[in-house]
Amino acid sequence: MDKTIIIEKIKKRNDINTDFFHLEEIYDDVISDILMLTHRKTLDDSFESLVKEMMEYRMNTQGTIGILNDGYSGVQQSYNQDYPQRILRKIRLRRLYGGV
């Protein structure tokens, strides 16, 4: 997977002209997350769609610090602790077991 190509695809898909989201940093974080959660040392091209989906999730939640719900009358907030289930399910399907 080429970092530059994936970042350009994300920019085109989301109509981004500047690097407001710090896409290189998000890319690096997402790759680290996938490697850790799948027990892999490297990622092949088959992970491209998962990387893009995780990057877009990070972009959409950036600045909210994981806030799921925000209520004003009772000042109640709930926070997201992890990636959504649809992403975690895809990661679990790619996980290596037994130190392979």
12: its two tokens = 């085109």
Q: Which amino acid, residue 35? A: L
Instruction: Report the number of distinct structural domains present in the chain.
Output: 1
Q: Are 71 and 77 in contact, with CB atoms under 8 Å apart?
A: yes
- Residue at 20 is within a domain: yes
On whether residue 98 sits in a domain, the answer given is: no
Token pair in block for residue 52: 């893009």
Helices 3-13 and 48-61: crossing angle, nearest 10°? 50
Q: Which residues contact 87 (CB under 8 A, 6 or more apart)?
A: 50, 53, 54, 57
- Give 66-99 pLDDT, tens digit per residue: 555 556 666 655 555 578 889 999 999 999 886 5
Say which DSSP state 65 is in. T
Task: With respect to residue 58, please indicate whether it lies within any of the assigned structural domains.
Answer: yes
In a domain, 100, yes or no: no
The pLDDT-based confidence of 49 (bands split at 50, 70, 90) is: very high
State which residues form the domain around 16. Answer: 3-93
Write the pLDDT tens digit of every residue in 4-36.
999 999 999 988 887 777 999 999 999 999 999
**81 in any annotated domain:** yes
